[in-house]
């Protein structure tokens, strides 16, 4: 499972490793914004996984 984040001319891709989301690609995202993105993803990982399964399974 992977998720994409886009905005302000940048993007990031995270993959689920079975335990947590891991950044696998990043382009043009400032460090401060990246920190916020990681926090939101980690704080909401259970919701993201649940919705992903509802949509794709």
Number of domains in the chain: 1
**pLDDT tens per residue across span 1-57:** 889 999 888 999 999 999 999 999 999 999 999 999 999 999 999 999 999 999 988
What is the per-residue DSSP string for 4-17?
A: EEEETTEEEEEEE-
The burial class, CB within 10 Å (0-12 / 13-18 / 19+), for 20 is exposed
Domain that residue 27 falls in: 2-56
CA 51 to chain centre: 13
pTM equals: 0.82
Per-residue pLDDT at 12? 96
């Amino acid at each position: 499972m992977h998720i994409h984040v886009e905005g302000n001319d940048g993007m990031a891709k995270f993959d689920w490793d079975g335990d947590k989301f891991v950044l696998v690609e990043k382009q043009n995202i400032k460090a401060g914004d990246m920190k916020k993105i990681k926090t939101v993803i980690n704080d909401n990982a259970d919701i993201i996984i649940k919705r992903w399964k509802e949509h794709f399974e």
